[in-house]
Amino acid sequence: MWGIIATWRMAVEGIGKASEMLKAEGDAGDAIETAIKEVEDFPYYKSVGYGGLPNEEMEVELDAAYMDGDTLDIGAVGAIKDFANPISIARRLSRESVNNFLVGEGAEKFAHREGFERKNMLSDRAKIHYRNRVKEVQEQEIKPYSGHDTVGMVCLDTHGKMTAATSTSGLFMKKKGRVGDSPVSGSGFYVDSMVGGATATGLGEDVMKGCVSYEIVRLMKEGMHPQAACEKAVQMFDETLRRRRGKAGDMSLVAMNNKGEWGVATNIEGFSFAVATADQEPIVYLTKQVDGKCVHEVASQEWLDNYMKTRTAPLVEK
Ligand code: ASP
């Protein structure tokens, strides 16, 4: 058995590439890195890698993490600038015995020394989004934060090895130096090849309050199916946040166990995800909540076409 599951429609091309590798009995580490790089490199996705939206100082600061479910090795970078593939730097850091999670200048120094590709990650489209947002904020006197989507993946290879990985530009208009849940173990991701893995997208500040990825893996370890584990963890934590704080940020989690069974839960409308297994070609699903349960529907061709059309549509400066 092999499988790979990921947050958001944007992951499906990467999942396709990873599937080919996994089918050929490739390694879960190589497959997940390839899949995440595909998303980082695609210029029209505004929340990951090149083309990701900048912080309030118009700098693209990126967070990424990689975890090996066999050894429990973790590598992560936070608020790193000017490198093409943060996921590869995170994976490289996972092989160090200490200094596994580096941020800002320290992460950049490491990446430079190790010869990773430098790149100005601020695209022309991202500059237009930034300038439009600055105008909106001034005109409407609203909070600047707007939009965020992390690509997070969990992967199982034919040798039984599992990996998890994330990559994101975080919250659009964040403060310089802000790091979300995505590179934080247990919050943005967690994987144990003996059990399974989970990964999150949503408001990092809230996801971190509940260590939701770890909670899902813990529930799977107790014997729950990934779908039941995701629903229980997301529903309970969403309720906790509403009861204790009056509101809960967006939170969507995907999980896979070491048998290739998967699950997804969300507290928002319109969450999309992509999954492929030995029994199933890469498919994009949309999740709806019906009577407190998350129901997954295959995305229609119309929805998929429309998604690409809106992502690549010409941008006008306001
Ligand atoms: N979790 C990410 C962050 O807070 C953003 C997202 O996944 O939507 O940085």
The pLDDT, as a whole number, for residue 256 is 98
Kindly report the protein residue whose alpha carbon is nearest to atom 9 of ligand 1: 170
Ligand 1 touching residue 170 (CB < 6 A): yes
Nearest ligand 1 atom to the CA of 188 is 1
Output the pTM of the full model.
0.97
Taking the CA of residue 206 as centre, how many other CA atoms within 13 Å lie in the half-sphere pointing to its CB?
22
Q: How far is the CA of 53 from the centre of ligand 1 (A)?
A: 12
The one-letter code for the residue type at 104 is: G
Placement of tokens 């600055």 in the chain: 134
3-state secondary structure of 298: strand
Residue 178's nearest CA partner among 89, 293, 79, 110 is 79
Ligand 1 touching residue 206 (CB < 6 A): no
The pLDDT, as a whole number, for residue 140 is 83
The pLDDT, as a whole number, for residue 165 is 98
Nearest ligand 1 atom to the CA of 152 is 7
Count of beta carbons in the 10 Å neighbourhood of residue 266:
25
Ligand 1 touching residue 152 (CB < 6 A): no
**Cβ contacts of residue 5 below 8 Å, gap of 6+?**
153, 154, 254, 255, 256, 262, 264, 273, 274, 275
pLDDT 10s digits, 1-44: 999 999 999 999 999 999 999 999 999 999 999 999 999 999 99
Placement of tokens 């529930």 in the chain: 219
Count of beta carbons in the 10 Å neighbourhood of residue 142:
11
Q: Are 262 and 269 in contact (CB under 8 A)?
A: no
The pLDDT, as a whole number, for residue 141 is 74
Count of beta carbons in the 10 Å neighbourhood of residue 157:
24
How is 171-208 classified by DSSP, letter by letter? STTPPTT---STTSBTTTEEEETTTEEEEEEE-HHHHH
Q: ∠ at Cα 99 (98, 101), nearest 5°?
A: 125
3-state secondary structure of 18: helix
Catalytic choice (7, 71, 150, 201): 150
For 41, phi then psi, to 5°, come to -85, -15
The CA radius of gyration of the chain, in Å to the nearest whole number, is 18
The one-letter code for the residue type at 64 is: A
The pLDDT, as a whole number, for residue 147 is 73
Q: Are 290 and 14 in contact (CB under 8 A)?
A: no
Q: How confident is the prediction along the chain (318 residues), in pLDDT tens digits per residue?
A: 999 999 999 999 999 999 999 999 999 999 999 999 999 999 998 899 999 999 999 999 999 999 999 999 999 999 999 999 999 999 999 999 999 999 999 999 999 999 999 999 999 999 999 999 998 888 887 777 777 789 999 999 999 999 999 999 999 999 999 999 999 999 999 999 999 999 999 999 999 999 999 999 999 999 999 999 999 999 999 999 999 999 999 999 999 999 999 999 999 998 999 999 999 999 999 998 888 789 999 999 999 999 999 989 988 888
pLDDT 10s digits, 299-311: 999 999 999 999 8
Ligand 1 touching residue 180 (CB < 6 A): yes
The pLDDT, as a whole number, for residue 40 is 97
For 229, phi then psi, to 5°, come to -65, -45
Taking the CA of residue 255 as centre, how many other CA atoms within 13 Å lie in the half-sphere pointing to its CB?
39
Verify whether residue 312 is a known catalytic residue.
no
Q: How far is CA 198 from CA 33, 67, 101, 152, 212, in A?
A: 16, 11, 19, 9, 9
